[in-house]
Amino acid sequence: MGFNNHGVDNLVENVKKAHFDGVLGINIGKNKDTPVEHGKDDYLICMEKVYPYAGYIAINISSPNTPGAAHAAIRRSAG
């Protein structure tokens, strides 16, 4: 459950290969294994890596489908 993917580095490589010429929106979220109190670090790492390629970045701070996700705690730690 959650946002299954191969990670931000894989995403960046795919974006580079695509040579897309339009506006590209990229969604980011913390790893499900990252403790809530360290989630901010995941967001910052992802933002830094995708910024050069994104027309806009959507930050997912809640994942209702991820078991054990502490949604209120994630929102508090994002600030």
Phi, psi dihedral angles at 73 (to 5 degrees): -65, -35
| Concatenated DSSP letters of 3-46 | ---S-HHHHHHHHHHHT--S--EEEEE--TTS-GGGHHHHHHHH
| pLDDT for the residue 67 | 61
| pLDDT for the residue 33 | 86
Q: Verify whether residue 63 is a known catalytic residue.
A: yes
| pLDDT for the residue 1 | 46
Distances in Å between the alpha carbon of 5 and those of 2, 31, 47, 72?
Answer: 9, 10, 16, 24
- Answer whether residue 15 is part of any domain: no
- Answer whether residue 34 is part of any domain: yes
Q: Which domain holds residue 43?
A: 1-6+25-79
CB atoms within 10 A of CB 18: 10
Q: Which of 31, 63, 66, 77 is catalytic?
A: 63
- Answer whether residue 46 is part of any domain: yes
Task: Quote the mean pLDDT of the chain.
Answer: 84
pLDDT tens digits for 5-50? 899 999 999 999 999 999 999 999 888 888 888 989 999 999 999 9
Read off the pLDDT band of 70 (50, 70, 90).
low
Count of domains observed in the chain: 1
